[in-house]
């Protein structure tokens, strides 16, 4: 067996860089990255067979359940090459696979010399994988194309091998074929990683430079920082410094992941591992930052560091107002592990007290919400997500709007919104459907290419706000799930945007204000007033529901006055039943929100804000209960 026991393998801080290979796996969700990683752990014998479990490296329940990697990590794998019989150390750096985490992906890539491009040979490459592939190529990584799941009956390895060869400019025969499930071809893949990917190069005598490619909060150990050493060396008990902030820390522990943390005497040139400094907040140990020696600091940081910038904002409110402190504590805790999450308190007439939160994107938002609900056992309602608008008034004043209810009144000169360049990959038969959707969403076609005989890459610029509003769901449903989407920021552009308010008996309900394109204001108004008419119970007076831009009403519905609210029968046993019902309703009253004189059950607001996906989730939960 080409596996080498960890004890006999080259040791951290004492490994010749020529023996090291650093690689990552670029793959789409479901294309089998975690399963392939499992097989690598198994055949290199770093995990004993009896300790093996599926998706070994995915730590959070959410990761395991949803099959997506949110945070990356790195595993040190000793391996004796079947080609030259020499011992090597392979560092596999796991990367997140979603557009929201492009920055984190780019830092993981920067820590590697090569990438395994893993594609499901029943599905072909997806847009996000393609985007990450381009990112890897820009970083001059050696790409090893691999088709996975060759054991599947509907595999089409010839077709997709040709597709990959076309994309990266290699020969069809160079595309490896593996099965993460059966382990077929995995040993050969490890040998190819060694022979094709260059060894890391660095100066062992220079001041230390190590790239932070991940930073994870652990409740026992504080922040665990994952690094790739470029030059010099990092040793335990040594004073280190974060380049961006200049803050000094002591490296309490340095080690490698194998795949459990294993303290070492240090990390040398080209090595990948972790360090623990005792800081409690990932924002003090930021992804992309350079770590250097405090005593002998570098003058040249590694390039590419950026502050994470939230792109999507939404209000998060506890369904039960009494849970507000629980939500606050849970957000605080989550932020320790999520440098990209920002929030500030917000109060809404309709939904009570909550937080305005900023996210990298929709998936990030969903994950945060899910973790809050799961880990803090909260029931949350979120307002419709929106992007950041830059509003310039006629008097030259500027506002940055992350919450529609803060959209300024008065004479507006211009409103700018973020624009993205999006790439959609899909079978050619859906070109029409995709173009129609992008046109509806104010898209501008940039170009279209065939990546294989029946698959196309379509590029559009789109306002991010349009993508944030159920674009992905629509894309999936109009292409029967075949299309995939990726996008990148292109900057801000002026748009004909207005704020639509929803008024209940003349009073604006803050949670429903939205910033939309003028052409869509009417549709939004009709949709929202109609929804509320269905959801708000009849009152003893007629209640008008209006949609308005400023003082101009663009849509109107009304809830007719209630005419019947009585149970006809009230005899013997009915009396206590009825009284108990009254007592129960009295409790329910507390959950009523008053908008002016109108009494609205909180459920009505919740239902009006729910997306189709939320409703499906609620229905599924009910089904489970019954």
Partner 1 sequence: MLSFYVHIPYCVRRCGYCDFNTYTPAELQDGATLEIVSGDYIDAVLKELAAAPLDQVPTIFFGGGTPSLLPPKDLGRVISAIKERNGVSEDCEITLEANPDSVTQEKLDQLIAAGFNRISFGMQSSNPEVLKVLDRTHNPENVRKAVDMARAAGFSSVSVDLIYGSPGESLADWAATIKEALSLDIDHISAYALIVEEGTKLAAQIKRGEYTVPDDDLMADMYLLIDQQCLQKGLKWYELSNWSRAGHQCRHNIAYWKSDNWWGLGPGAHSHIDSKRFWNVKHPNAYKEKVFAGDSPIKDFELLTDDQRKSEYIMLALRMPEGVKKAALTVAQYERTMEYIKSGHVIEKHDSLALTPKGRLIADRLTHEMLR
C-beta of 502: minimal distance to partner 1 in Å? 25
When asked if residue 570 is in the footprint of partner 1 (CB under 8 A), the reply is: yes
Binding segment toward partner 1, per CB under 8 A, in 206-214, 490-498, 520-528, 571-579: 571-579
When asked if residue 619 is in the footprint of partner 1 (CB under 8 A), the reply is: no
When asked if residue 591 is in the footprint of partner 1 (CB under 8 A), the reply is: no
C-beta of 535: minimal distance to partner 1 in Å? 16
C-beta of 410: minimal distance to partner 1 in Å? 37
Q: Which residues of 581-617 are buried (b: 16+ CB within 10 A; e: fewer)?
A: eeeeeeeeeeeebebeebbbbbebbbbbbbeeeeeee
Contacting residue, 7, 49, 54, 567, with partner 1 by CB under 8 A: 567
Binding segment toward partner 1, per CB under 8 A, in 97-105, 151-159, 427-435, 565-573: 565-573
Q: CA separation (Å) from 332 to 22, 282, 285?
A: 34, 12, 17
When asked if residue 585 is in the footprint of partner 1 (CB under 8 A), the reply is: yes
Tokens 């629980």 correspond to: 326
Contact at 8 Å (CB) between 213 and 224? no
- Compare residues 261 and 601 and give the one whose CB is closer to partner 1: 601
Greatest CA separation for the chain: 94
Binding segment toward partner 1, per CB under 8 A, in 164-172, 274-282, 505-513, 569-577: 569-577
Contact at 8 Å (CB) between 176 and 149? no
- Compare residues 480 and 579 and give the one whose CB is closer to partner 1: 579
Q: CA separation (Å) from 196 to 144, 192, 416, 599?
A: 8, 6, 47, 69
- Compare residues 586 and 623 and give the one whose CB is closer to partner 1: 586
C-beta of 617: minimal distance to partner 1 in Å? 23
When asked if residue 296 is in the footprint of partner 1 (CB under 8 A), the reply is: no
When asked if residue 586 is in the footprint of partner 1 (CB under 8 A), the reply is: yes
When asked if residue 625 is in the footprint of partner 1 (CB under 8 A), the reply is: no
When asked if residue 576 is in the footprint of partner 1 (CB under 8 A), the reply is: yes
Beta strands in 532-577 (DSSP E): 543-549, 552-559
Q: Which of 336, 314, 610 is nearest to 468 (CA)?
A: 314
Coil, strand or helix at 323: helix
Q: To 10 degrees, what angle do helices 431-440 and 471-478 make?
A: 160
**What are the residues facing 507 on neighbouring strands?**
504
Coil, strand or helix at 142: strand
Asked whether the CA dihedral 484, 490, 496, 497 is positive or negative, the reply is positive
**What are the residues facing 119 on neighbouring strands?**
147
Q: Which of residues 208-227 bind partner 1 (CB under 8 A)?
A: none
Contacting residue, 195, 239, 496, 540, with partner 1 by CB under 8 A: 540
Binding segment toward partner 1, per CB under 8 A, in 105-113, 295-303, 317-325, 568-576: 568-576
**What are the residues facing 374 on neighbouring strands?**
none
User: Cα–Cα distance between 210 and 226 in angstroms, integer?
Assistant: 9
User: Cα–Cα distance between 249 and 281 in angstroms, integer?
Assistant: 13
C-beta of 580: minimal distance to partner 1 in Å? 9
Contacting residue, 53, 569, 622, 623, with partner 1 by CB under 8 A: 569
Contacting residue, 7, 49, 54, 568, with partner 1 by CB under 8 A: 568
When asked if residue 583 is in the footprint of partner 1 (CB under 8 A), the reply is: yes
CA–chain centroid gap for 358, Å, is: 12
- Compare residues 207 and 601 and give the one whose CB is closer to partner 1: 601
When asked if residue 411 is in the footprint of partner 1 (CB under 8 A), the reply is: no
Contact at 8 Å (CB) between 136 and 168? no
When asked if residue 622 is in the footprint of partner 1 (CB under 8 A), the reply is: no
When asked if residue 575 is in the footprint of partner 1 (CB under 8 A), the reply is: yes
CA atoms within 13 Å, Cβ hemisphere of 39 = 19
- Compare residues 306 and 589 and give the one whose CB is closer to partner 1: 589
Contacting residue, 345, 541, 550, 615, with partner 1 by CB under 8 A: 541
User: Cα–Cα distance between 43 and 203 in angstroms, integer?
Assistant: 32
C-beta of 223: minimal distance to partner 1 in Å? 51
Contacting residue, 237, 306, 518, 578, with partner 1 by CB under 8 A: 578
Cis peptide before 259 (omega within 30 of 0): yes
Q: How many beta carbons lie within 10 A of that of residue 195, not counting itself?
A: 12
Binding segment toward partner 1, per CB under 8 A, in 164-172, 230-238, 498-506, 566-574: 566-574
Binding segment toward partner 1, per CB under 8 A, in 281-289, 390-398, 567-575, 613-621: 567-575
Q: How many beta carbons lie within 10 A of that of residue 216, not counting itself?
A: 19
Contact at 8 Å (CB) between 249 and 309? no
- Compare residues 48 and 583 and give the one whose CB is closer to partner 1: 583
Contact at 8 Å (CB) between 56 and 41? yes
Could you tell me how many residues of this chain bind partner 1 (CB under 8 A)?
A: 24
- Compare residues 219 and 576 and give the one whose CB is closer to partner 1: 576
When asked if residue 582 is in the footprint of partner 1 (CB under 8 A), the reply is: yes
Binding segment toward partner 1, per CB under 8 A, in 376-384, 440-448, 481-489, 564-572: 564-572
Binding segment toward partner 1, per CB under 8 A, in 150-158, 183-191, 310-318, 579-587: 579-587
Give the burial class of 169: count Cβ atoms within 10 A of its Cβ; 0-12 exposed, 13-18 middle, 19 or more buried.
Answer: exposed
C-beta of 592: minimal distance to partner 1 in Å? 10
HEC readout, 454-515: CEEEEEEEEEHHHHHCCHHHHHHHHCCCCCEEEEEEEEEEECCEEEEEEEECCEECHHHCEE
When asked if residue 589 is in the footprint of partner 1 (CB under 8 A), the reply is: yes
When asked if residue 564 is in the footprint of partner 1 (CB under 8 A), the reply is: yes
When asked if residue 453 is in the footprint of partner 1 (CB under 8 A), the reply is: no
Contacting residue, 303, 572, 623, 625, with partner 1 by CB under 8 A: 572
User: Cα–Cα distance between 312 and 272 in angstroms, integer?
Assistant: 33
- Compare residues 322 and 582 and give the one whose CB is closer to partner 1: 582
C-beta of 599: minimal distance to partner 1 in Å? 10
The site for partner 1 (CB under 8 A) is made up of: 540-541, 560, 562-573, 575-576, 578-579, 582-583, 585-586, 589
């Amino acid at each position: 067996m080409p596996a080498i026991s960890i004890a006999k393998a080259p040791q951290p801080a004492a490994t010749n860089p020529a023996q090291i290979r650093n690689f990552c796996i670029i793959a789409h969700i479901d294309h089998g990255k975690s399963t392939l990683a499992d097989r690598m752990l198994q055949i290199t014998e770093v995990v004993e067979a009896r300790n093996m479990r599926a998706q070994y490296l995915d730590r959070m329940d959410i990761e395991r359940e949803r099959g997506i990697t949110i945070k990356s990590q790195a595993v040190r794998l000793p391996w004796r090459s079947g080609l030259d019989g020499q011992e090597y150390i392979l560092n596999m750096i796991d990367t997140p696979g979603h557009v929201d985490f492009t920055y984190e992906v780019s830092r993981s890539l920067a820590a590697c010399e090569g990438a395994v491009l893993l594609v499901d040979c029943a599905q072909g490459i997806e847009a996000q994988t393609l985007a990450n592939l381009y990112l890897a190529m820009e970083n001059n990584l050696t790409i090893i194309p691999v088709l996975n799941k060759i054991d599947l009956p509907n595999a089409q390895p010839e077709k997709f091998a040709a597709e990959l060869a076309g994309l990266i400019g290699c020969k069809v025969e160079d595309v490896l074929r593996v099965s993460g499930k059966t382990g077929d071809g995995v040993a050969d893949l490890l040998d190819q990683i060694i022979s094709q990917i260059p060894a890391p190069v660095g100066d062992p005598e220079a001041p230390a430079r190590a790239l932070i490619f991940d930073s994870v909060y652990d409740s026992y150990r504080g922040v665990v920082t994952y690094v790739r050493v470029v030059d010099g060396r990092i040793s335990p008990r040594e004073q280190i410094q974060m380049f961006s902030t200049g803050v000094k820390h002591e490296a309490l522990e340095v080690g490698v992941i194998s795949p459990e943390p294993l303290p070492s005497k240090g990390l040398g040139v080209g090595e990948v591992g972790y360090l623990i400094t005792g800081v409690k907040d990932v924002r003090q140990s930021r992804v992309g930052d350079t770590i250097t020696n405090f005593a002998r600091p570098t003058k040249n940081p590694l390039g590419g560091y950026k502050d994470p910038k939230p792109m999507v904002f939404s209000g998060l409110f506890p369904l039960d107002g009494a849970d507000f402190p629980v939500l606050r504590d849970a957000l605080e805790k989550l932020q320790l592990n999520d440098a990209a999450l920002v929030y500030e308190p917000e109060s809404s007439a309709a939904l009570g007290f909550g937080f305005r939160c900023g996210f990298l994107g929709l998936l990030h938002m969903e994950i945060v919400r899910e973790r809050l609900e799961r880990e803090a056992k909260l029931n949350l309602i979120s307002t419709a997500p929106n992007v950041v608008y830059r509003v310039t008034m006629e008097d030259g004043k500027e506002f940055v709007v992350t919450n529609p209810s803060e959209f300024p009144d008065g004479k507006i000169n211009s409103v700018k919104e973020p624009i993205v360049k999006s790439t959609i990959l899909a079978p050619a038969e859906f070109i029409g459907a995709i173009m129609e959707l992008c046109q509806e969403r104010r898209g501008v076609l940039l170009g279209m290419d065939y990546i294989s005989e029946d698959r196309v890459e379509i590029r559009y610029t789109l306002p991010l706000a349009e993508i944030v509003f159920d674009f992905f769901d629509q894309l999936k449903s109009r292409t029967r799930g075949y299309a995939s989407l990726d996008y990148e920021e292109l900057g801000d552009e002026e748009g004909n945007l207005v704020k639509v308010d929803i008024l209940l008996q003349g009073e604006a309900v803050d949670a429903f204000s939205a910033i939309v394109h003028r052409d869509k204001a009417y549709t939004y108004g009709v949709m929202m007033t109609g929804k509320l008419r269905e959801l708000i119970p009849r009152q003893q007076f007629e209640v008008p529901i209006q949609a308005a831009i400023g003082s101009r009403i663009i849509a109107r519905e009304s809830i007719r006055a209630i005419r019947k609210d009585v149970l006809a029968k009230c005899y013997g046993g009915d009396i206590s039943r009825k009284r108990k019902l009254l007592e129960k309703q009295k409790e329910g009253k507390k959950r009523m929100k008053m908008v002016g004189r109108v009494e609205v059950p909180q459920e009505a607001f919740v239902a009006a804000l729910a997306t189709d996906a939320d409703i499906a989730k609620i229905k599924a939960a009910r089904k489970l209960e019954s």
